[in-house]
A = this chain, B = another copy of it.
């Protein structure tokens, strides 16, 4: 979803903003996709929409000042569905937002008129994978494993939005009939296993039955039980952690197989905090995926971690500002 309010020379750098529930990340990005400068400030989401929008504007204005106004466009990745009118509706982790037309509300707060593009954060990260210089994949499913499990369908290089802009919610593809309860109200969703809090809770529930697990000592040292720690334990040879992640990978692969069968896509790109768990999560997911695909598409399937990790939000938002016609 892009909203033009002026045109600007495209050789100027872009501003990409990654709007998270905890942190706002700002980046000055060159048209060829290099981050020239970046910083982050706390979101302070508990203070409500007006305060958060003011803080977003503050960060953008700081970059406008630093560049003496020579900015081509601004892109924002936000954690929620953006509808056809460019509004975000009740974003999770942003209390009191309701329905907010982000670009419209942000525009009067900026020091100078700039084209503003606003997009769902998973779509933004997927767009970075599709559109960054050197990217060659035109059709893929993007899945991001974080607090939630988000996703995006990239078709012919563009975000495929569905009827009202919300397509790509692979986190709420259900793979276990009447399985674990998900926060969406359904049961057996991928997110109810692979979402960070769910995965942590599942591991915590099983861990007492495995007193020999290295995780006990790691937790005693003050580490928090989270997917990355489970992967670190698996990498250190812990059997429980490896088996647990393998089970998660099998569920992930089953969901991806259903999605690829339905969409006729042949590539999955995995983003998010645990996308680097190649050996213990991605490889089991790949095996599970390949075993469950229909024959016509099973011969050339790939699953790989995202190219951009922590900076996917900034880079994708900046890319989106450019190619959405905003710049």
Interface residues of A (CB under 8 A from B): 81, 89, 139, 151, 153, 155, 160-170, 172-177, 179, 184-188, 251, 254, 257-259, 261-266, 291-297
Contact = CB atoms under 8 A, between A and B. Distances in A.
Contact of A89 (B153, B176, B296): B296
A177 B248 CA distance: 12
A161 B160 CA distance: 12
A186 B261 CA distance: 11
B254 A174 contact: yes
A285 to B, nearest CB: 14
- Which of A172, A261, A265 has most chain B Cβ within 10 Å? A261
B264 A161 contact: yes
B166 A139 contact: no
A293 B162 CA distance: 15
Contacts of A89: 296
B262 A164 contact: no
A218 to B, nearest CB: 29
Contact of A291 (B155, B185, B258): B185
A127 to B, nearest CB: 17
Nearest to A179: B177
A81 to B, nearest CB: 5
Contacts of A295: 184-185
Contacts of A187: 292
Contact of A172 (B167, B179, B261): B261
Nearest to A264: B162
A117 B293 CA distance: 28
B293 A258 contact: no
Contact of A264 (B165, B184, B257, B264): B165
A51 B39 CA distance: 70
A261 to B, nearest CB: 4
Given A177-B179, A261-B172, A166 B254 contact: no
Given A155-B162, A173-B261, 6 more contacts: A81-B296, A155-B160, A169-B261, A172-B258, A174-B292, A186-B294
A166 B257 contact: no
Nearest to A187: B292
Given A264-B167, A294-B184, A175 B172 contact: no
A164 B297 contact: yes
Contact of A258 (B81, B155, B173, B264): B173
A66 B263 CA distance: 42
